[in-house]
């Protein structure tokens, strides 16, 4: 079963376009996840008085799953897609016995809607499939920070949001004196949904966080054009529809006034929304398997409104004018049917034309996650070379 972010986004964005041209059956508010009961995740009343990246609180944590490491969690002020302040959280793993380690912000693949599914929880509850990969960075002597880049409402699918939270998490980690990372070189890394957050962070950094000196950004399997993925979708039942539906709900959470998905759901759709709105990847897949947009929406029209198209473009790297100034390493499967190659190739071409220090590596591989396995070793070597101070190569 193809469960990954690319196919999910392709399916969901078609679902987003469903029924937008017909009257809703009834007005319905978005369904937000239950807040985490731990007061560590509670936004303070004065959050809007803080600057993006300001630290709200910190705590030590038990890193029993990650030998020879010490752990911290950092809550900080960030910004959502509407420009409003939100509370962000990141989890930091420090390698024992290493003084002044370099810092890698690793953006995980978060195919979920519930607060219990965010990395600050799923790194320790067996939900995050990438958890063992954290040891790869720790064994190299890197500090690893893993932000909850979907934000406090689990806004699955909101790509620009992930970039801003990622940058603010780096700011916050460097502000915590106890971590000793104030002067550490910084790299960003991620694949698929995590690659999307990392690539957005790289493109946003020159304007959103110009003070950050990023040594490297590595990102692969990037869903770079959500509109293109929506246009390529059919309406047949799909094994990954549970994640597709979840991303529609996540985007509604982020753009509730502009994207009233719940207004377009029929009785089955409202049941599925309420049943899955606090859950993680496996639950979403099981209960959504082989459903379709026609089963959950009041119409099967694919005539998308201009507002929907605009939201898709606002979250598509292909249509964002920003160009990274940090050294960037991108890799993508040329035959990947989940995250189209041509959109990433176009982004890479524009970066080269603008003089960005880019290495772009295509792989003639069709299966989405195989490209991750093949590409990460060279991507991590790219980071290591930048940490050693070697000049960034370019494929432009």
Q: What is the pLDDT of residue 27?
A: 60
The residues, ordered by sequence, that sit 6+ positions from 346 with a Cβ below 8 Å of its Cβ are 224, 318
Q: What is the pLDDT of residue 292?
A: 84
Q: What is the pLDDT of residue 137?
A: 95
* Apex 181 CA angle, 179 and 185, nearest 5: 155
Whole-model pTM: value is 0.92
Q: What is the pLDDT of residue 76?
A: 98
Provide the 8-state DSSP code for 265.
B
Q: What is the pLDDT of residue 285?
A: 87
Closest alpha carbon to 193 in 128, 260, 135, 279: 128
Q: What is the pLDDT of residue 348?
A: 97
Q: What is the pLDDT of residue 302?
A: 37
Q: How many helices (H) and strands (E) does the chain have?
A: 13, 9
Q: What is the pLDDT along the chain (396 residues), one digit of tens a residue?
A: 333 444 444 444 554 444 444 444 456 788 999 999 999 999 999 999 999 999 999 999 999 999 999 999 999 999 999 999 999 999 999 999 999 999 999 999 998 999 999 999 999 988 888 888 899 999 999 999 999 999 999 999 899 999 999 999 999 999 999 999 999 999 999 999 999 999 999 999 999 999 999 999 999 999 998 888 766 655 678 787 888 788 889 999 999 888 888 888 999 999 999 999 999 988 998 888 888 888 888 875 534 678 888 888 999 999 999 999 999 999 999 998 778 899 999 999 999 999 999 999 999 998 989 999 999 999 999 999 999 999 999 999
Q: What is the pLDDT of residue 12?
A: 47
Question: Which residues share a beta bridge with 189?
Answer: 106, 218
278 HSE (CA, 13 A, CB side): 7
Q: What is the pLDDT of residue 243?
A: 80
Structural domains of the chain in order of their starting residue, each with its CATH number: 1-390 (3.40.50.1820)
Burial class of residue 162 (count of CB atoms within 10 Å of its CB; 0-12, 13-18, 19+): buried
């Amino acid at each position: 079963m193809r469960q990954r972010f690319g196919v999910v986004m392709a399916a969901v964005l078609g679902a987003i376009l469903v029924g937008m041209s017909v009257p809703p059956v009834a007005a319905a508010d978005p369904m937000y996840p239950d807040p985490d009961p731990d007061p560590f995740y509670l936004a303070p009343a004065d959050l809007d008085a803080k600057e993006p990246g300001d630290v709200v609180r910190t705590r030590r944590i038990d890193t029993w799953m990650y030998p020879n490491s010490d752990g911290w969690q950092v809550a900080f002020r960030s910004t959502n897609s509407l420009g409003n302040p939100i509370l962000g959280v990141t989890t930091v793993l420090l390698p024992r016995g290493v003084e002044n380690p370099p810092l890698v912000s690793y953006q995980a693949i978060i195919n979920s809607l519930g607060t219990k599914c965010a990395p600050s929880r799923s790194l320790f509850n067996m939900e995050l499939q990438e958890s063992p990969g954290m040891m790869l960075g720790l064994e190299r002597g890197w500090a690893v920070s893993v932000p909850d880049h979907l934000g406090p409402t689990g806004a699955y699918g909101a790509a620009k949001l992930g970039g801003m939270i990622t940058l603010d998490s780096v700011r916050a980690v460097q502000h915590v004196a106890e971590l000793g990372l104030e002067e550490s070189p910084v790299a960003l890394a991620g694949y698929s949904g995590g690659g999307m957050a990392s690539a957005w962070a790289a493109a946003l950094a020159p304007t959103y966080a110009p003070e950050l000196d990023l040594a490297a950004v590595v990102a692969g399997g990037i869903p770079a054009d959500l509109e293109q993925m929506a246009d390529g979708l059919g309406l047949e039942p799909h094994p990954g529809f549970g994640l597709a539906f979840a991303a529609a709900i996540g985007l509604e959470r982020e753009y509730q006034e502009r994207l009233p998905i719940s207004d377009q759901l029929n009785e089955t759709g409202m049941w599925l929304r309420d049943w899955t709105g606090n859950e993680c990847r496996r639950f979403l897949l099981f209960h959504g398997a082989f459903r379709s947009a026609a089963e959950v929406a009041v119409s099967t029209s694919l005539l998308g409104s201009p507002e929907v198209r605009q939201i898709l473009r606002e979250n598509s790297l292909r249509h964002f004018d920003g160009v990274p100034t940090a050294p960037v390493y991108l890799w993508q499967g040329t035959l990947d049917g989940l995250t189209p190659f041509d959109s990433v190739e176009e982004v890479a071409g524009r970066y080269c034309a603008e003089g960005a220090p880019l290495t772009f590596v295509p792989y003639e591989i069709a299966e989405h996650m195989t490209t991750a396995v093949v590409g990460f070793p060279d991507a991590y070597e790219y980071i290591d070379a930048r940490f050693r101070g070697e000049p960034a190569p370019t494929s432009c």
